[in-house]
Amino acid sequence: MKSLRVQVQRKNVDYPLVIERGLVKRLDEAIRPYVTTDCRICLITDENVAALYLNPALEQLKKAGFKLYPFVVPAGESSKSLTQLSAIWEQLVAWGFKRTDAIIAFGGGVVGDLAGFAAASFLRGLDLIQIPTTLLSQVDSSVGGKVAIDLSEGKNLVGAFYHPKAVFMDPDVLETLSDEQFASGMAEVIKYALIGDEGFFNDLAEKKNRDELMESIENILATCCAMKRDLVATDEKDRGQRMLLNFGHTIGHAIEAYYAYHKYNHGQAISVGMVYMTSWAEKKGYSPKGLSKKIRQLLSQHGLPVRLDQAEDLPQILPFMRRDKKNLGSQLNVVVIESVGKAKILQVNESFERELLDSLKEVQG
């Protein structure tokens, strides 16, 4: 069985990212080095993942001697809330969880963020294991130690930096994703290529469909995870180079928030955000002419939108960018692509919104 391992290792942080087909069927073997059968494990998942994997996972782990306490939340971004977080806290108290117990996040990015923040905050920290089940969470949200919940005012506004004991990725679970969910993850994959690896970008351009991507999915996951690991190692608290990972996210998060996380999923919003940011950067001379077209072609090839359906909403969407956590006073931090595989961080002022609107007339037209 092919197995890839990306080790996250630096001061006070040391854990593996294990990529292996069929891992979900061998969870008992996978987690045994990181939790003991003496401790209790709260396995947090959502309704969609529970319907596919929860009962077999519980049966397998209980048979191996682990004490399991499942907690199932509704699927979707709305579960990344203080309401669900409080419900988890209260249930952990009712179950009598102690600091020697653990939490497993078994699901996509929403579950990973919610369960991760529960682990970070309950009793000042329980051991955490991440088992991401979507492409988006495997390449991005389960790596790097960020955990958070949303507020009505914006995405990921309350959270922490909290690393797991281990991350286990089973590419086989990606077969159950809808094409829309798979494409959402591809937005982040393409982002990695744009900010740091031209060869990776060219490889993705050669893969015409999902089947071709799945043939080399282990290497795709490992490439993305290693890239994020290296950026996080230089800037764990997201105050410098780690911000490169937010290419497309300043606009993308604004799109998500404006539509209350319903109209566009995360990958779709980030896809549009990358196109819009590059269109502006081309006009300003930060990105080479023709780059936005090249990006649009690859995003479209992998099932992602490259513009909003309602251009008239843009003047109302862009002010949401001011809520971005990485802003400094009245200045916004944005990421632009200087060339494929090379990105930089810029600070822009209030005129950015007006300039962005002007630059998007051609894209939306």
Split at pLDDT 50, 70, 90, the class of 31 is very high
Share of the chain above pLDDT 90, in %: 76
Which of 71, 76, 77, 65 has its CA nearest to residue 90?
71
Work out the mean pLDDT of the chain and round it to a whole number: 92
Q: Which CATH superfamily is domain 179-364 in?
A: Dehydroquinate synthase-like - alpha domain (1.20.1090.10)
Handedness of CA 353, 359, 361, 364 (dihedral sign): negative
Query: Span 240-261, mean pLDDT?
Result: 91
> How much is the pLDDT for 186?
98
C-alpha angle with apex 63: 62 to 67, nearest 5 degrees? 25
Domain extent listing, the chain: 3-176, 179-364
With contact defined as beta carbons under 8 Å apart, do 365 and 358 qualify? no
> How much is the pLDDT for 316?
93
Helix (H, G, I), strand (E, B) or coil at 305: coil
Q: Where is average pLDDT lowest: 4-13, 31-40, 216-225, 337-346? A: 4-13
**Terminal C-alpha separation, the chain:** 50
Examine domains 3-176 and 179-364 and report if their fold is the same: no
pLDDT tens-digit profile of 96-147? 999 999 999 999 999 999 999 999 999 999 999 999 999 999 998 778 889 9
Handedness of CA 31, 231, 186, 45 (dihedral sign): positive
The DSSP symbol for 53 reads I
Tokens 């780059």 correspond to 291
pLDDT tens-digit profile of 44-67? 999 999 999 999 999 999 999 999
pLDDT tens-digit profile of 309-322? 988 899 999 888 88
Q: What are phi and psi of 42, to 5 degrees?
A: -90, 115
> How much is the pLDDT for 285?
96
> How much is the pLDDT for 1?
53
Q: Which of 236-240, 283-287, 308-312 has the highest mean pLDDT?
A: 283-287
CATH of domain 3-176: 3.40.50.1970
Query: Span 287-299, mean pLDDT?
Result: 97
> Is residue 354 predicted with pLDDT exceeding 80?
yes
Cα 120 to chain centroid, rounded: 18
> Is residue 8 predicted with pLDDT exceeding 70?
yes
Torsion of CA 341, 265, 56, 211, to 10 degrees: -50
> How much is the pLDDT for 361?
74
Q: What are phi and psi of 220, to 5 degrees?
A: -60, -45
Which of 122, 119, 69, 73 has its CA nearest to residue 95?
69
Which of 297, 288, 290, 266 has its CA nearest to residue 202?
297
> How much is the pLDDT for 264?
94
Query: Span 21-36, mean pLDDT?
Result: 94
> Is residue 209 predicted with pLDDT exceeding 70?
yes
pLDDT tens-digit profile of 81-90? 999 999 999 9
> How much is the pLDDT for 330?
66
> How much is the pLDDT for 198?
98
Which of 352, 202, 205, 187 has its CA nearest to residue 281?
352
> Is residue 242 predicted with pLDDT exceeding 70?
yes
> How much is the pLDDT for 241?
85
> Is residue 237 predicted with pLDDT exceeding 80?
no
Helix (H, G, I), strand (E, B) or coil at 340: coil
> Is residue 286 predicted with pLDDT exceeding 80?
yes
**CA distances from residue 219 to 16, 183, 241 in whole angstroms, order as listed:** 16, 17, 24
Enumerate residues 6+ apart whose C-beta is below 8 A from 161: 145, 146, 147, 236, 237
Tokens (6 digits) for 148: 């958070």
pLDDT tens-digit profile of 160-171? 999 999 999 999
